[in-house]
Structure 1
């Protein structure tokens, strides 16, 4: 898929605890494998213990990843790394300190005004979407599906006139990546209220289908009093007492071929089958009703400052790769115009790591969506100490530059004939 980072409690740690998960004195390491022996060791450790939590799965030699290690496991963990020639560096001795300020914010009374100076909870975000439908004739509520715990996958459609081509935005499929939903709602507000000509063109000449929370149960759990800020997955019950599936490995397009795990406690667990999760299955069913309508599909994740396009399961490139690259170049240039933020990227397999079963690959590969992109938002790659809990002060700057990028992306796509 936010400032702190690491890791996910994609395992079962504190999952059933009545208290909020804490990471007091957990050590944070940056690790990488420089030989096959080290690579196999790290693959065997990830998802096997609730005391060693990986930020990302290790897929290839030289890849860096952040890891949380419980204090009682540090000696054994380090011995294992040294014995197997794993490169490592201690980044922080108390992971809890990295999220403490944000944890304190959660305990404060909520402001009455909905704005983008804080990260809002799920109920506040949904109430705000409902208020838009009540106050703007261009807005209608849509339901992108249901969740394991019975919540709606709430979204909105913005349409100023009939006959517009469609753009679909999905965010929050990894629940700890709070900047995705926050950026999405900020863009919604701009589409409805901005007087900037380029934004008005976007708003009025395209139909927007927007799902800020593709994994509402997971997001609610990251904020709950008995939850875990670093939770990534859904909340369905799995084998071995574990919970959840990586919802961005669960789509029925080359499902579980590469870059996903069969371990029920792994953060990249692909599920028992494609579309095993009601969240992905019901959202996909909704998207199918729009087949032929959507010209551009956008997914927001964090972090790494990457712009990605298909495919994740193979190094083979889309047939329209020339257009993808042209649009990519324009979009990342626009991303840097306002604040100088540098993005890189390319096809998923090569630009980040092999990963099959992702939403944008499914949309591109099965739904006749000609253009599908994934933004990995701020902060930059390997920013292990400023990862998933991006400071709230960066919500608006992140959102501004992202809308700049999307504006350029849509304009270039139209120039190439995708919205004609």
Structure 2
């Protein structure tokens, strides 16, 4: 018995130390831009192996955090010097940092936690699925329907699902309700986006008015394979786990938010399967991006608002991301965005995506805006801790802010739709009343 205990203890220690082993010796640099010229030339710091935890931004005074492998120390520091940015190491060894920091990121669990699902905590995918199934079952005899839709299975055979939440029955003479779509965990290391999405679901079930006038599609985990991999192997993983490329078994995975068929593979993306920015063998090569495409196509033109939840530093950003220009909806985007920012306790910035993050190709938000969905936003959650690993104790405040902003946007969709419906219905009713009088 003692030998068995020692054996399992040793295996546990081996497993723990093996997690994040790939990051041994990696450094993270602070990047503080002091001129607009440095911002314009920031691209010289970019490479397939350089990982921007936080994008630096001169206009907003945001200090960037960039992870660099040992093989690129010299190259990166030479580029810093060329750019005129001071060398400032934030983390000397990412592996050591993650090993010490992961436990601190979680709140202590009680013995009863396995029987209780708290949306303000981090959970494994199987537990999230069980929670979603429970919501579906509980709505069976209710006017409020929580439908769990299974789109298909991922490369590693996990169910790829989303929730469809609605209330009441559609009458023959009533237009179908507008739809709001919420997407989370496209980048699997963005754990905090999942409780943000689930918190939206819980609030919708409490505030029935937003279901009386709207239908909701919520994707709590768009990238389940990648998400599980961040728990078991590499916490900072950014791709799926598919093996579709010619190097798929050596360098698996595709960055889902570079895989959409809009300006594909041009900016802030890579054709190398070993890069965390790999865009795939072709647009929509991945089941995860195809699910988004089909949700939009199958529900057009009812989708009125699309929001992608990400963890990039406290921005609400709008298209375009692929070019330095605003979409034709900029004025409406901006006015609603201002209202969303005002509803949030934290300091969020509102801007065009390419102004915030530089140019990016193949994103879900640009693709969906191109499909005539008028209101599309990236909700880039404010960063706590080191910016990537959000402590669990901060989750509740963060997700409540996301809900407040989402509710503001939903109320505006109701106002717009109600106004448009009235403009259509009132003249028609007046016409028929006139006919009856005659």
**TM more than 0.5:** yes
Q: Cα 1:287–1:229, aligned 2, differ >3 Å: closer, same or farther?
A: same
Asked whether the 8 Å contact 1:145–1:279 carries over to 2, the reply is no
Which has more helix, going by share of residues? Answer: 2
| Distance apart, 1:285 and its partner CA | 2.2
| Secondary structure at the counterpart of residue 346 of structure 1 | strand
Q: For structure 2, which runs of at least 5 residues remain unmatched after alignment?
A: 1-15, 171-175, 422-438
**Can you give the 5+ residue segments of structure 1 that lack an aligned partner in the other structure?**
1-16
Distance 1:83 1:342, change over 3 A: closer
Give CA deviations for 1:275-316 in whole Å, capped at 9, x if unaligned. 122221233223321112211111100021111111111233
Q: Which residue of 2 aligns with 1:128?
A: 131
TM-superposed deviation, 1:81: 4.4
Closer/same/farther in 2, CA of residues 344 and 145 from structure 1, 3 Å limit? farther
User: 2: distance between equivalents of 1:106 and 1:244?
Assistant: 31
Counterpart residue number, 1:372:
376
Given the superposition, is the C-alpha separation of residues 38 and 398 from structure 1 closer, same or farther in structure 2, using an over 3 Å criterion? closer
The whole-number CA distance in structure 1 between the counterparts of 2:333 and 2:83 is 40
Name the CA distance, whole Å, in 1 between partners of 2:114 and 2:260.
37
- Structure 1 residue 131 displacement after superposition: 0.3
Distance 1:42 1:63 in 2: 16
> In 2 relative to 1, CA 374–206 (structure 1 residues): closer, same or farther, beyond 3 Å?
same
**Whole-angstrom distance in 2 between the partners of 1:333 and 1:57:** 23
1:217 equivalent in structure 2: 225
**1:117 Cα deviation after fit:** 4.5
Q: 1:229 to 1:316 in 2, by over 3 A?
A: same
Change (3 A) 1:139 1:243: same
Q: Is the 8 A contact 2:107 2:393 kept in 1?
A: no
Mean CA deviation greater in 349-358 or 123-132:
349-358
- 2:329 counterpart residue number: 320
Number of the residue aligned with 2:196: 183
TM-score, normalising length: structure 2: 0.78
- Secondary structure of 2:257's counterpart equals coil
Distance 1:265 1:65 in 2: 24
Task: Check whether the contact 1:54–1:67 (CA below 8 A) recurs between aligned residues.
Answer: yes
Q: Does 1:143 align with 2:150?
A: yes
Q: Relative to 1, partners in 2 of residues 1:64 and 1:235: Cα closer, same or farther, differing over 3 Å? A: farther
> 2-side partners of 1:295 and 1:75: how far apart?
46
For the aligned residue pairs, the C-alpha RMSD in angstroms reads 3.2
Q: Distance in 1 between matches of 2:44 and 2:378?
A: 30
Question: Which protein shows a greater Rg?
Answer: 2
Q: Residue 57 of structure 2 contacts residue 63 of structure 2 at CA under 8 Å; is this kept in 1?
A: no
The reply on whether 1:271 has 2:271 as its aligned counterpart is no
- Change in Cα spacing, 1:153 to 1:18, as seen in structure 2 (3 Å) is farther
2:15 pairs with 1:19: no
In the alignment, what sits opposite 1:93?
92
Correspondent of 2:299 among 287, 290, 294: 290
Aligned length: 382
Which deviates more, 200-209 or 82-91? 82-91
The offset of 1:417, in angstroms, is 4.5
Q: What is the rounded CA distance, in whole Å, between the counterparts of 1:370 and 1:126 in structure 2?
A: 31
8 Å CA contact 2:45–2:80 kept in 1: the answer is: no
